[in-house]
Structure formats: C-alpha cells, structure tokens
Amino acid sequence: HALTTVPLAYLVGETGRVVAVDMSRWRFFEEITSAAGLKRRIIPLKADARGLPFPFKAFDLAVLVHGVRSLKNEETMVRVFSEMLRVANMVFIAESLPIANNERQRAHLELYNLREDIFEALFGEKDDLHYLPLKRLRELVKTAGGEII
C-alpha cells in the first residue's frame, strides 16, 4: 500500500502532510510508516473515494497510482475522478496500460486478465478490471470534468 504514500511523504518534507485514503489495505501501514520514520507526515483515512469527507478543495494534489482497475466499473471510476477533482487543485493518475512489447508482457496481460473469471467463479464477484487503454482512461477523466495536461 505504501508504493506511493511513503515517497510522497518524503517529497512533502517536514511541514507537509499526505492523506492516504483506502477502504481496506491497511495491513502493514503502521510498520511501513514507522520504519520509514514518516508516521507523523501520513494521515491514514479509511474512506470510500466516491465520497470523501472534505467539504472543499483541501489538497494541492490528489494521486491515484495503480488503483483505477480496483474501482470495479467505469461509472465508479468517473465518480472517484470527479470526487478527486472536487477536493484537489490537480489530480495525478498513474496506471499500467494494456501494451505488450514482448512475449513476457503479453503473457502477463493474458494471466492478469484471467483473474476476473477466477475471482468471479470463486467469490461471486469480479476482482480488478482489465487494463484500460489510454484513450478510454482519458475519456473517463474528461467525463468527470478533468482536463488532460
């Protein structure tokens, strides 16, 4: 979970703060932030990103890294992007794209895309979505009111 949170906490410096929002991925949060010496810079918030508990633009930047596919469907993606735009001056999204330049990458995509059927068969619901093409991701951000820069 600290893939982005810890580096951002270093980046904001002693006086900055990072608010980490997630519904469930908190298992090693205390250990990671304590070991990194950043516990006081990171504010954990267990919340649904579709409805953030901030009544106004409270952040310079909202960041979503490798989380788009976890949003389950495009309607939810648009709601989350809209909510991020509502509370932050700028939004940064980093996501893997379904581009394979070699055999290993093609194999990864094929195996990853099998997850959906397996999770649905085992648990009755789909896991992460397939990777979205960049064009579709851009369209969803624009639908949410965002501007691509």
Range of the structural domain that residue 91 is part of: 2-97+131-143
Per-residue pLDDT of 26-45, as tens digits, reads 888 888 889 999 989 998 88
Residue 148 lies in a domain: no
pTM: 0.77
pLDDT of the residue at 47: 86
Same domain, 75 and 121: no
Same domain, 68 and 125: no
Instruction: Find the Cα–Cα–Cα–Cα dihedral 51, 56, 57, 59, rounded to 10°.
Output: -70
pLDDT of the residue at 24: 76
Same domain, 105 and 93: no
**Segment among 5-9, 12-16, 130-134 with least mean pLDDT:** 130-134
Per-residue pLDDT of 66-90, as tens digits, reads 888 788 889 999 999 999 999 999 9
Residue 36 lies in a domain: yes
Same domain, 82 and 112: no
Same domain, 72 and 108: no
Same domain, 32 and 79: yes
The total number of structural domains in the chain stands at 2
